[in-house]
């Protein structure tokens, strides 16, 4: 659950007077499709004016690419050096230029978006030569699509996040977006409303909802709230596992002792001391149980109901039970003890902001094809 946090959001100064970036549009160059070139030029200006975060630059006059290229001695089409000259000549930081020609019933060409310090990006087009009016919505929609392709969507803004002196992670709309370093993070975000979440160990999550406008600086101050100290779950689980492991080891030890006692009780039947059971000498009495009914104690007498047979069977049954307990509980005891040691060793032993306490022993788990091992050593 997100912790309570005081959120202060203050809009900064927009990066342009009206929060929008101006883009100049040069008259599209053509040798055979003048009406269509003029219409596309004006449709592009309208598309830029309508695009969030952008505006059509207000120039003292219309500039034609062909005229500028000739006056500046540029190549055709303009190269990077020429684009730099054009920008300096008309005093802008970004502009769109293009070329067009007739191709049957269509016009084809390319548009370029140049930005100072970034160079230009191009997009090609083909559409019906019947579109000769800048107000035609089909042509305006085409211009809008091409500008988005060139500019990459609306320009965003910057968000500065402060959260005391914490270090941690920043999430925007549920996705990792950056790091808090000494309580500060700066993000570039697209326009629109975003959900900001900052996390830091030992503190409640801090959240804010911030609206970003085009080319705007904003700041959000989050107030850290320490998490309420809860029960040391990992330590509890660790010591519980150790206790259960010790209990399992105790039961396994008892079962092992009982197996030894039962073997001792069976020994007279297997030593040949009792002549009635001499046939068991040198054998495992429990394995030979099934032979008992067929062995005569005396001529004409069967030992099927002999109380000694019942005693041997009881001892063997108990022996099997305790043997199974011994074999099964030792691995369980080892697993529980190992898990308990790891949980205790990796628990947070810090003393409420004091220097972390050290355990009096070291734990080194290792894993390989033959299984897992724990190496425990004393710390001095």
pLDDT (tens digit per residue) in 74-86: 988 999 999 999 9
User: DSSP strand E in 80-203: where?
Assistant: 94-103, 106-115, 119-128, 157-162, 168-172, 175-180, 184-189, 192-199
Instruction: With H, G, I as helix, E, B as strand and everything else as coil, classify residue 149.
Output: helix
Domain boundary residue among 203, 222, 241? 222
Domain that residue 179 falls in: 156-222
Q: Is residue 13 part of a domain?
A: no
Does the pLDDT of residue 145 top 90, yes or no?
yes
Average pLDDT of the segment spanning 222-246: 82
d(CA 93, CA 46): 19
One domain, residues 147 and 166: no
Q: Is residue 377 part of a domain?
A: no
- DSSP, res 282: T
The model's confidence at residue 25, banded by pLDDT at 50, 70 and 90, is very high
* Segment (H or E) for 337: helix 307-346
One domain, residues 166 and 253: no
Q: Is residue 258 part of a domain?
A: yes
Q: Is residue 180 part of a domain?
A: yes
One domain, residues 263 and 322: yes
The model's confidence at residue 299, banded by pLDDT at 50, 70 and 90, is very low
Nearest to 41 by CA among 80, 115, 98, 91: 98
| β-sheet bridge partners, residue 168 | 180
Q: What is the pLDDT of residue 112?
A: 96
One domain, residues 166 and 285: no
One domain, residues 79 and 160: no
Average pLDDT of the segment spanning 229-238: 77
One domain, residues 144 and 44: yes
Does the pLDDT of residue 273 top 80, yes or no?
no
Q: Is residue 9 part of a domain?
A: no
The answer to whether 222 and 9 have CB atoms below 8 angstroms apart is no
One domain, residues 253 and 340: yes
One domain, residues 214 and 134: no
Higher pLDDT, 21 or 196: 196
d(CA 11, CA 199): 23
One domain, residues 117 and 187: no
Average pLDDT of the segment spanning 133-152: 93
pLDDT (tens digit per residue) in 165-180: 989 999 999 888 888 9
Does the pLDDT of residue 3 top 90, yes or no?
no
One domain, residues 47 and 87: yes
Average pLDDT of the segment spanning 199-204: 89
The model's confidence at residue 248, banded by pLDDT at 50, 70 and 90, is confident
Q: Is residue 239 part of a domain?
A: yes
One domain, residues 266 and 313: yes
Give the HSE-up count for residue 342: Cα atoms under 13 Å, Cβ half-sphere. 13
Top-confidence range, 60-74, 150-164, 309-323: 60-74
Tokens of 91: 């005093």
User: DSSP strand E in 200-240: where?
Assistant: 206-212, 217-222
The model's confidence at residue 283, banded by pLDDT at 50, 70 and 90, is low
CATH number of the domain that 99 lies in?
3.40.50.10070
Q: What is the pLDDT of residue 104?
A: 95
Higher pLDDT, 284 or 228: 228
Q: Is residue 15 part of a domain?
A: no
Q: How many domains does the chain have?
A: 3
- Assessment of whether the complete model's pTM goes beyond 0.85: no
One domain, residues 217 and 243: no
Q: Is residue 335 part of a domain?
A: yes
CATH number of the domain that 173 lies in?
2.60.40.1120
């Amino acid at each position: 659950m997100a912790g309570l946090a005081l959120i202060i959001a203050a809009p900064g100064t927009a990066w342009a007077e009206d929060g929008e970036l101006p883009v100049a549009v040069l008259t599209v160059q053509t040798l055979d499709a003048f009406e269509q070139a003029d219409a596309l030029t004006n449709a592009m200006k309208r598309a830029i004016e309508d695009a969030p975060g952008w505006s059509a630059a207000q120039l003292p006059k219309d500039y034609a690419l062909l005229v500028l290229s000739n006056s500046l001695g540029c190549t055709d089409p303009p190269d990077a050096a020429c684009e730099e000259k054009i920008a300096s000549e008309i005093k802008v930081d970004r502009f769109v230029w293009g070329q067009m020609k007739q191709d049957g019933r269509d016009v084809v060409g390319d548009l370029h978006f140049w930005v100072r310090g970034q160079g230009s990006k191009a997009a090609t087009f083909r559409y019906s030569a019947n579109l000769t009016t800048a107000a035609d919505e089909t042509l305006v929609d085409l211009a809008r699509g091409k500008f988005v392709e060139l500019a990459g969507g609306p320009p965003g803004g910057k968000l500065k996040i402060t959260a005391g002196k914490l270090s941690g992670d920043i999430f925007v709309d549920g996705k990792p977006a950056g790091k808090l370093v000494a309580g500060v993070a700066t993000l570039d975000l697209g326009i629109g409303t975003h959900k900001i979440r900052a996390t830091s160990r030992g503190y409640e999550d801090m959240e804010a909802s911030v609206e970003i406008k085009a080319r705007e600086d904003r700041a959000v101050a989050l107030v850290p709230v320490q998490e309420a100290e809860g029960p040391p779950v990992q330590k509890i689980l660790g010591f519980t596992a150790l206790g259960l492991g010790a209990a399992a080891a105790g039961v396994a030890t008892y079962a092992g002792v009982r197996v030894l006692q039962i073997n001792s009780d069976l020994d007279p039947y297997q030593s040949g001391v009792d002549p009635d059971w001499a046939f068991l000498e040198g054998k495992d009495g429990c394995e030979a149980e099934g032979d008992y009914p067929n062995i005569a104690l005396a001529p004409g007498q069967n030992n099927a109901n002999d109380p000694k047979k019942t005693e041997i069977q009881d001892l063997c049954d108990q022996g099997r039970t305790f043997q199974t307990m011994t074999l099964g509980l030792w691995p369980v005891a080892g697993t529980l003890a190992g898990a308990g040691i790891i949980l205790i060793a990796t628990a947070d032993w810090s003393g409420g902001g004091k220097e972390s306490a050290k355990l009096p022993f070291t734990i080194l788990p290792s894993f390989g094809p033959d299984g897992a091992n724990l190496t425990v050593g004393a710390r001095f």
